[in-house]
Chain A
Amino acid sequence: MSNSTLDKAQKGRLVTIINLPFGELRAHLIRLGITEGDSIKCIERLPGGTIVIQKNRQEIAIGYDLAKKIKIILH
Chain B
Amino acid sequence: MKNDLIDVPQIKKTKEHINDYQTNLDKVVKVVLVGNPNVGKSCIFNHMSGMYVDVSNFPGTTVSITKSFFQGAELYDTPGIYGVSSFNDEERVAKDIILSADVVINVVNGLHLERDLFLTQQLIEMGKKVTLILNFSDVVQKKKIKINTQLLSELLGVEIIETSAVTKKGFDQLQNAVKLAKVGNQNLDLQFMLQHLIDKGISKAEALLIIEGDSITASKNFMQPGLSDDREKIYITRRSKVNEIVTLVEYEDSKKGEIFNQLGRLSLHPKTGVPILIVILSLVYFFIGDFVSQQVVDFTENKIGKELFEFNVKSFIANFNESTILVSSLDEPGNVVENKTFRFPNGMASDTKLKNEFLTFSNKQEIAIDFQFSNPILRLFFGEFGVITMTITYLFFLLLPLVIGFYFVMAILEDSGYLPRLATMMDRAFNKIGLNGKAVIPIMLGFGCITMANVTTRLLGTSREKTIVTAILQFVIPCSAQLAVITVLLSGAGLKPLLIFVTVITIVLITLSTLMHKLLPGESSPLLLDLPMMRIPRLDNILKKTFFRSYGFMKEAGVWFFIGAIIIGIFEIFGILEIWQNILAPLTTEWLKLPKETATAFVMGMVRRDFGAAGLFDLNLTSMQVTVAIITITLFVPCIASFIVMLKERGLKEGFAIWVATWISAFTIGGIVAQIII
Contact = CB atoms under 8 A, between A and B. Distances in A.
B82 A66 contact: no
Contacts, number: 110
B503 to A, nearest CB: 25
Contact of A61 (B143, B231, B265, B528): B528
B424 A33 contact: no
Contacts of A16: none
B114 interface: yes
B531 A50 contact: no
A10 interface: no
Contacts of B676: none
A57 B424 contact: no
A48 B527 contact: no
Contacts of A26: 232
A62 B268 CA distance: 13
A56 B250 CA distance: 12
B486 to A, nearest CB: 33
Interface stretch (B193-201, B256-264, B491-499, B571-579): B256-264
A56 B114 contact: yes
Contacts of A65: 431, 526
A41 to B, nearest CB: 11
Contacts of B269: 44
Given A27-B235, A44-B268, A32 B427 contact: no
Contacts of A46: 268, 270, 424-425, 427-428
Contacts of B85: 27
Nearest to A60: B530
B119 interface: yes
A35 B236 contact: yes
B87 interface: yes
Contact of B530 (A32, A43, A64): A32
Interface residues of A, number: 33
A73 B530 CA distance: 23
A32 B38 CA distance: 14
Contacts of A28: 82, 87, 528
Contacts of B243: 33
A59 B528 CA distance: 11
- What is the size category of the interface that chain B forms with chain A? 35 or more
Interface-centre pick from B265, B268, B526 (highest chain A CB count, 10 A): B526
Given A27-B235, A65-B526, A66-B526, A32 B82 contact: yes
B648 interface: no
A33 B109 CA distance: 14
A61 B270 contact: no
A59 B264 contact: yes
Nearest to A21: B526
B118 interface: yes
Interface in B48-99: 82-83, 85, 87
A57 B258 CA distance: 7
Q: Is the interface of B mostly helix, strand, loop or mixed?
A: helix
A64 B526 contact: yes
Given A30-B235, A59-B264, A64 B259 contact: no
- Report which residue of B85, B236, B268 has the largest number of chain A beta carbons within 10 angstroms of its beta carbon: B268
Contacts of B258: 57
Nearest to A26: B232
Contacts of B530: 32, 58-61
A62 B526 contact: yes
B111 A62 contact: no
B405 interface: no
Best-buried of B83, B143, B527 by chain A (most CB within 10 Å): B527
Interface string B103-134: 00000000110110011000000000000000
B433 to A, nearest CB: 14
Most buried by A among B83, B119, B427, B531: B427
Interface in A9-65: 22-33, 35, 43-44, 46-50, 52, 55-65
Contacts of A61: 420, 423-424, 427, 437, 527-531
B90 to A, nearest CB: 13
Contacts of A35: 236, 239
A26 to B, nearest CB: 8
A58 B528 CA distance: 13
B228 interface: yes
Contacts of A50: 424, 427-428, 437, 527
Nearest to A69: B526
Most buried by B among A26, A57, A58: A57
Contacts of B588: none
Contacts of B164: none
Nearest to B122: A31
A47 B270 contact: yes
A58 B112 contact: yes
A52 B259 contact: no
Contacts of A31: 82-83, 115, 118-119, 235
B137 interface: no
B436 interface: yes
A46 B235 CA distance: 31
B239 A63 contact: no
Nearest to A46: B270
B115 A63 contact: no
Nearest to A25: B528
A11 B326 CA distance: 72
A60 B423 CA distance: 12
B259 A57 contact: yes
Contacts of A23: 228
Interface in B327-367: none
Contacts of A33: 114-115, 118, 239, 243
Given A43-B265, A52-B424, A60 B528 contact: yes
Contacts of B528: 25, 28-29, 32, 60-63, 66
Contacts of A66: 526-528
Nearest to A56: B114
A53 to B, nearest CB: 10
B195 to A, nearest CB: 24
User: Which residue, of A31, A32, A43, has the highest number of chain B Cβ atoms within 10 A?
Assistant: A31
Nearest to B113: A56
B428 A59 contact: no
B39 to A, nearest CB: 12
A32 B528 CA distance: 10
22 contacts: A23-B228, A24-B87, A27-B231, A28-B82, A30-B239, A31-B82, A31-B83, A33-B115, A35-B239, A46-B428, A48-B431, A52-B424, A58-B114, A60-B531, A61-B530, A63-B427, A63-B437, A63-B526, A63-B528, A65-B431, A65-B526, A66-B526
Given A50-B424, A52-B531, A66-B528, 7 more contacts: A44-B265, A48-B428, A50-B427, A59-B264, A62-B527, A63-B431, A63-B528
3 A-B pairs closest in CB distance: A63-B527, A48-B428, A63-B526
